[in-house]
Amino acid sequence: MTLLDTLIAFVIALLAGAFGSVLGIGGGLFIIPSLTLFLGEDLKTAIAASIVAVIATSLGGGNVYVRRHVADIRLGLLLALATAPSAVIGAILATHINARVLAGVFALVLAVSAYRMFQGLRASAAPVPETEDEPALSSRFRGSYFETSTGQTIRYRVRNVPIGIGASSVAGLISGMLGVGGGIVQVPVMNLIMSVPIKVATTTSTYIIGITAMAGAFVYYNHQPSYVDPALAIPVTIGVFIGASVGSRVLGRISQSALRTVFTAVVAIYAIQMLLRVFGIGAG
Amino acid sequence: MADFVPPDEHATYSRVGYTLLGGLWLSVIVMVAGFLLAAITGIHQISHVAPLQDIAAELRAGQSGALLSLGILLLFATPFMAVLVALYQFLRQRDVPFIWVTVVLLIILIIGFAVALR
């Protein structure tokens, strides 16, 4: 990589971090196709760079959400029992399967993400109120957080814990295989299946993805030859970190729907570009 | 911070949160230091991470690639350290179910590392 390539990778990550922080999505969906398209990076090397950046994103956001007691540590650790091993499996699969197959899976995830962003997160389950006659197991998975916008303490009870753990393994698999956060699966699982309030679901997802991505990232690091290229992974990591830190302040004046429209269009274009790669058309 | 959080629970969230923050800053500082060293000694040297078994020797030799690799590994280690801190806090709180959840998670992560090292 040249110094110019490193700078381009940094700028791509800066934009991904900024957009991601405002729209509440991971940067991997933007970073990986950008690195392959503009820098001609190998897909698996781009995935490895992204998964390192995902850990930094999780640590940067997760530390704040945990200290504010919005992310639910216990729920996160419980779901990580499923996401961590499936991320390792996903990463092992990614390092062994053909790049075109990987591009096909990535195109599918990009298309689903674009569709979900286009729709917005309209379906949001209401928190389930606590009852006096809860079974013992469910009573272990209760939580509460302080909603700053209303000044109220919101109490909730986590439901369908075994189903939630099972479904979370899909998020781990996607994260390990594609180097993304997996929030596209993890947040709906917590919100719609487990009745966790959307704010707790998104923040807990941010906390979990660090544990999940770390499990998968080690596979990319130790692969011979290693897929982790420091000249790519570190500028991407630092770029995402800075972008996420300043994104809401810099992009805060632009309407969220306008940003969402632009980002959705970019992700949709990337989905088509990835699909073309499956058929041997385009870069990489 | 909301006022409904019991003190021991507040300590758990605070210590886990600061572990994540501290690990992030430490790894970023090491990465930046590695980049500065690489800029002085030649950026072409950092296209591959150092193998785990070679990092200590390469660090002693003052190689920028080893410093960059160390920064990346510190980043990887931070979520693991936060799980360890959570386990310590659950032990203090005598939260037996989550002591088991955390222990099983740590075992899973260690098995994952072992698989990756093969």
Domain ranges of chain B: 7-117
How much is the pLDDT for A224? 87
Amino acid at A35: L
How much is the pLDDT for A127? 53
Q: What percent of chain B has pLDDT over 70?
A: 92
| Counted domains in chain A | 1
Measured CA distances, B19 to A50, A62, B29, B112, B115 (Å): 22, 11, 15, 22, 26
Tokens of B11: 């300590």
Angle between helical axes of A198-222 and A73-96 (0-180°, round to 10): 40
Is pLDDT of A12 > 90?
yes
Burial class (CB in 10 A: 0-12, 13-18, 19+), A148: exposed
Is pLDDT of A187 > 90?
no
Residue whose C-alpha is closest to residue A11's, from A29, A33, A35:
A35
How much is the pLDDT for A231? 87
Q: Across-strand partners of A152?
A: A147
pLDDT tens by residue, A96-147: 998 889 989 889 988 888 887 777 644 444 555 554 444 444 556 788 888 7
How much is the pLDDT for A151? 79
Contact A208, A186 (CB under 8 A): yes
Q: State the average pLDDT over residues B93-97.
A: 93
Q: Which of A154-158, A212-216, A247-251 has the lowest mean pLDDT?
A: A247-251
How much is the pLDDT for A246? 79
Q: CB A218 to CB B105 under 8 A?
A: no
Q: State the average pLDDT over residues A238-255.
A: 76
Contact A9, A237 (CB under 8 A): no
Taking the model in full, what pTM does it have? 0.88
Measured CA distances, B16 to A71, A141, A148, B11, B81 (Å): 11, 19, 22, 8, 9
Q: How does strand A142-147 pair with strand A152-157?
A: antiparallel
Which of the four pLDDT bands, split at 50, 70 and 90, describes residue A182? Answer: confident
Q: Å from A272 to nearest chain B CA?
A: 30
How much is the pLDDT for A141? 77
pLDDT tens by residue, A23-76: 666 678 889 989 988 898 899 999 999 999 999 988 988 898 899 898 999 999
Residues of B in contact with A80 (CB under 8 A): 83, 105
Neighbours of B118 (CB within 10 A): 7
Q: State the average pLDDT over residues B89-95.
A: 95
How much is the pLDDT for B61? 86
Contact of A211 with chain B, judged by CB distance below 8 Å, is answered with yes
Report the chain B residue with the minimal C-alpha distance to residue A65. Answer: B17
Does A283 reside within a domain?
Answer: no
Amino acid at A114: A
Query: CA angle A260-A266-A270, nearest 5°?
Result: 140
Range of the domain at A71: 3-120+160-278
Q: Which of A128-137, A243-252, B28-37, B82-91 has the lowest mean pLDDT?
A: A128-137
Please state the three-class secondary structure of chain B as a single string.
CCCCCCHHHHHHHHHHHHHHHHHHHHHHHHHHHHHHHHHHHCHHHHCCCCCHHHHHHHHHCCCHHHHHHHHHHHHHHHHHHHHHHHHHHHHHHCCHHHHHHHHHHHHHHHHHHHHHHC
Tokens of B29: 């500082």
Cα B31 from Cα B22, distance rounded (Å): 14
Residues of A in contact with B16 (CB under 8 A): 66, 73
Q: Which of A55-59, A204-208, A275-279 has the lowest mean pLDDT?
A: A275-279
How much is the pLDDT for A173? 93
Is pLDDT of B2 > 60?
no
Does A207 reside within a domain?
Answer: yes
How much is the pLDDT for A130? 52
Comparing CB atoms, the residue among A64, A92, A218 nearest residue B113 is: A218
Q: Å from A228 to nearest chain B CA?
A: 7
Is pLDDT of A19 > 50?
yes
**SS3 for A41?**
coil
Is pLDDT of A271 > 90?
no
Q: State the average pLDDT over residues A176-205.
A: 87
**Which phi and psi (to 5°) does residue B53 adopt?**
-70, -15
Tokens of B84: 């360890």
Cα A201 from Cα A173, distance rounded (Å): 19
Q: Å from B56 to nearest chain A CA?
A: 16
Cα A123 from Cα A119, distance rounded (Å): 10
Residues of A in contact with B98 (CB under 8 A): 74, 77
What's the mean per-residue pLDDT of chain A?
84
Q: State the average pLDDT over residues A6-28.
A: 82
How much is the pLDDT for A129? 52
Measured CA distances, A179 to A46, A102, A159, A175, B33 (Å): 8, 11, 29, 5, 26
Q: CB B49 to CB A63 under 8 A?
A: no
Contact A82, A168 (CB under 8 A): yes
Structure-model confidence comparison of residues A257 and A14, the more confident one: A14
Comparing CB atoms, the residue among B4, B49, B79 nearest residue A230 is: B49
How much is the pLDDT for A137? 47
Measured CA distances, B13 to A68, A69, A190, A219, B64 (Å): 8, 7, 20, 29, 35
How much is the pLDDT for B37? 87
